[in-house]
Chain A
C-alpha cells in the first residue's frame, strides 16, 4: 500500500479541503486582515505537500503535475508583473494603484492590491510545491526553481 496508514489518509482527506480553503481566504482577505499572498500561498502549497506525504508522490503528481506547478508558478509571477506594468501604462508609475480604491474594510477595495495578492498566492503556492517535489526527486530535475 502506497503512502501512510489508513488513519493518516482519512484524516488528511478531511483536512486538506479546509487547509486549501483557509489558504485561499488568507489570500483573498489579504488587504484587510493580516496575511496576504505569501502566507496564503504557503498554506496552499502545504495542502499539496500533505497529499504528497500521506498518499505518496504519485497521487500528488496526478493532482498537480510538475509541469503544471512550474507553469502556474511562472504565470503567477508574470501576472503580478503585468499588474505592475498596467499601473505604469495607466498612470505613469510602475505598480501604481490605478483602480478605484473603494471604501476601506470592504472585500472589493484597495485597487490592485487584492489582484496582486492572488497572483503572488498562486506563484508562492506553486513554486514551494515545485521546490519540494524537485528536492524529493533527488537530483533528476534541475532545481533552480526559486529565484525570488
Chain B
C-alpha cells in the first residue's frame, strides 16, 4: 500500500510537469493530495482494527487495544476540506483563464516572462 502511495505521488507530479492542459494539471494536483491522504490513513492503520468510535456498552480497554488510531483520520478530514477549497479555487481560476486566453493549453498562456 505504501508503494501505491508513492506511485500515485509520482503520477501526480508527472501530470503536473509534463501535461500542458490546465485541467490535467489540476487533476495531477488532486492525485498528489490524495496520495498524501492515503499515506496518513495508512499511518494509523492496524490489522483487524475497528472504527475508532466507542459504541454503547463496549469495553473501553478492548476498544483502546483494537481501535485504529483516530488522529490521522481527523487530520485527513481536515486536509480533504483544505483540498476542496484549493480545488474550487483552481477550477475557478481555470475557468477565468479560459475566458481571457481562450485556451486551456498552459504553453500558450505565457504573457509573463523574464
State yes or no: do A and B touch (Cβ within 8 Å).
yes
Chain A 33-53: CB-based contact to B (< 8 A → 1; otherwise 0):
110001000000000000000
Interface residues of B in 31-88 (CB under 8 A from A): 51, 53, 56, 77, 81-82, 84-85, 88
What number of A residues sit within 8 Å (CB to CB) of B? 15
Shortest Cβ distance from residue A17 to the other chain B in the assembled complex, whole angstroms? 26
* Pick from A138, A139, A148: contact of B82, CB under 8 Å: A148
Query: Are B81's CB and A148's CB within 8 A?
Result: yes
A131 proximity list for chain B (CB < 8 A):
88
**What 3 pairs across the A-B complex have the smallest Cβ distances?**
A143-B92, A146-B85, A148-B85
- B89: Cβ under 8 A from any A Cβ: yes
Shortest Cβ distance from residue A119 to the other chain B in the assembled complex, whole angstroms? 15
A2 proximity list for chain B (CB < 8 A):
none
Q: Considering residues A134, A138, A139, A145, which has the most beta carbons from chain B within 10 angstroms of its beta carbon?
A: A139
B95 proximity list for chain A (CB < 8 A):
135, 138-139, 143
Shortest Cβ distance from residue B38 to the other chain A in the assembled complex, whole angstroms? 19
A134 proximity list for chain B (CB < 8 A):
92
Sample of 6 further A-B pairs with CB below 8 A, known A146-B84, A148-B84: A33-B53, A135-B92, A139-B99, A143-B88, A143-B89, A148-B81
- B21: Cβ under 8 A from any A Cβ: no
Q: How far is the CA of A144 from the CA of B88 in the complex (A)?
A: 8
Q: Considering residues B51, B56, B89, which has the most beta carbons from chain A within 10 angstroms of its beta carbon?
A: B89
Q: How far is the CA of A135 from the CA of B87 in the complex (A)?
A: 12
Chain A 114-143: CB-based contact to B (< 8 A → 1; otherwise 0):
000000000000000001001100110001
Q: How far is the CA of A93 from the CA of B81 in the complex (A)?
A: 25
Decide: A105 near B56, CB < 8 A? Known: A138-B95, A146-B84.
yes
A145 proximity list for chain B (CB < 8 A):
88
* Pick from B53, B84, B88, B91: contact of A34, CB under 8 Å: B53
Q: How far is the CA of A145 from the CA of B92 in the complex (A)?
A: 10
